[in-house]
Amino acid sequence: MNVFSHPEFDNHEHLSIFCDPETGLKAIVAIHSTSRGPALGGCRMYPYASDEQALRDVLRLSRGMTYKSALANLDLGGGKSVIIGDPRKHKTEALLESMGRFLEQLGGQYIAAEDSGTSVSDLKVIGRQTTHVAGIKDHLGLDGVPSNGDPSPATAYGTYIGICMAVRHRLGRSDLQGLEVAIQGIGNVGYRLARHLKEAGAKLWVYDIHKDQMDRAVDELGATPVSAEEILALPVDVLAPCALGAVLNDSSIPRIQAKVVAGAANNQLERPEHDAALQKRGILYAPDFAINAGGIIDVFYERTNHDHHKVRAHVETIGTTLDEIFTRARSEGLPTGTIANRLAEERFRRSSADHQQSTSAMAKVG
């Protein structure tokens, strides 16, 4: 695998590859930046078709975490880990404990949290072998209801807040009554997002690769099930990608009829230039690393002094951040993703400069 010349390599600070034949573990950890703090990001398990696909994913995801934490004004860096394997077939406690030993070797440079293909219970198993896990402590969730540490409710709520702001900017609406939304991916986050939207009066269309998850949305939320081919091209107001990344690409963008794309999935753009392609078609795109930051906010507060009131208030600033992104994009005539990148870079580079000044001052005192 090429690393330094890889198109997704962005001056990442660290990359580790781990293989444990005894448990079948094959994993990669990528740390993009620690300029704002330790690199925190999810541990994903997925049956990648190739090692190259896994490497591409972890490089993209880790960079996205740097930008996500910066936009959310968190003192965290960006990192991610991927385990190559089908979570429904290959996941075992022995494999997860082996992952924990792997993470422990990194000495806290990277802190793992829940992601696609892993759960809070999985992270607790990983945590038997390392202290460098997050999102596993019982606490009051942002809605005041007891939580086991699962950040999905915060991610879903933040995405909902972001959709409300996008609808206000693109459709000129302050309510969601009768709003038509297509949700691709109806797992932990997608289902909770669907529930928020349903409670606000929206009409839902859903698709998921797992039929049981789609059936739940149909039975409990009155959603309309559609096929994988239909979900992206429906004539709805909002398209909410909540599955895996690269869904916005040369093939899908010309077929999108929604006026807003705003969902919880990471790395929705297959390539950076697809941001401009959406803008050209008059589609307002809510940059994924801005709108889906609720989970990392929740995990951050778990590691400090968790207060569900503060968590909720912080998650709601996602709307404020998107308001700034949309406003600047319109005034400057640039794609929203370009503006979001600039805003994130302003924040983490400023933080890095502040850190260097602080370190220099301490050295002089010493």
Q: Exactly one of 26, 68, 80, 91 is catalytic; which is it?
A: 80
- Model pTM score: 0.86
For the chain, the straight-line distance linking the first and the last C-alpha, in angstroms and rounded, comes to 44
CATH number of the domain residue 105 falls in: 3.40.50.10860
Asked if residue 195 belongs to a domain, the reply is yes
Are 251 and 159 part of one and the same domain?
yes
More confident residue, 326 or 143: 326
In the chain, % of residues over pLDDT 90: 79
Are 132 and 180 part of one and the same domain?
no
Asked if residue 154 belongs to a domain, the reply is yes
Q: How confident is the model at residue 318 (pLDDT cuts 50, 70, 90)?
A: very high
pLDDT at residue 363 in the model: 36
Asked if residue 4 belongs to a domain, the reply is no
Are 52 and 128 part of one and the same domain?
yes
Are 181 and 230 part of one and the same domain?
yes
Range in 25-34, 65-74, 280-289, 340-349 with the lowest mean pLDDT: 340-349
Domain count, the chain: 2
Taking the CA of residue 233 as centre, how many other CA atoms within 13 Å lie in the half-sphere pointing to its CB? 9
Are 164 and 43 part of one and the same domain?
no
| Locus of tokens 């990277």 | 110
- Distance, in Å, from the CA atom of 356 to the CA atom of 104, rounded to the nearest integer, reads 27
Environment class of 87 (CB within 10 Å of its CB; exposed 0-12, middle 13-18, buried 19+)? middle
Taking the CA of residue 245 as centre, how many other CA atoms within 13 Å lie in the half-sphere pointing to its CB? 25
Range in 2-6, 51-55, 213-217 with the lowest mean pLDDT: 2-6
Q: What are phi and psi of 278, to 5 degrees?
A: -65, -45
Q: Residue 198 catalytic?
A: no
Asked if residue 241 belongs to a domain, the reply is yes
Mean pLDDT of 227-247: 95
List pLDDT tens digits, range 344-356.
988 877 655 554 4
Are 337 and 237 part of one and the same domain?
yes
Are 285 and 208 part of one and the same domain?
yes
Single out the residue in 114, 136, 158 at which a domain terminates: 136
- Asked if the model's pLDDT at residue 365 lies above 70, the reply is no
CATH number of the domain residue 209 falls in: 3.40.50.720
Mean pLDDT of 185-194: 95
List pLDDT tens digits, range 34-43.
988 999 999 9
Q: How confident is the model at residue 1 (pLDDT cuts 50, 70, 90)?
A: low
List pLDDT tens digits, range 126-154.
999 999 999 888 777 777 777 777 888 99
> 260 lies in which domain range?
146-341
Single out the residue in 136, 155, 172 at which a domain terminates: 136
Asked if residue 112 belongs to a domain, the reply is yes
Are 30 and 153 part of one and the same domain?
no
Asked if residue 201 belongs to a domain, the reply is yes
Distance of CA 260 to the CA centre of its chain: 18
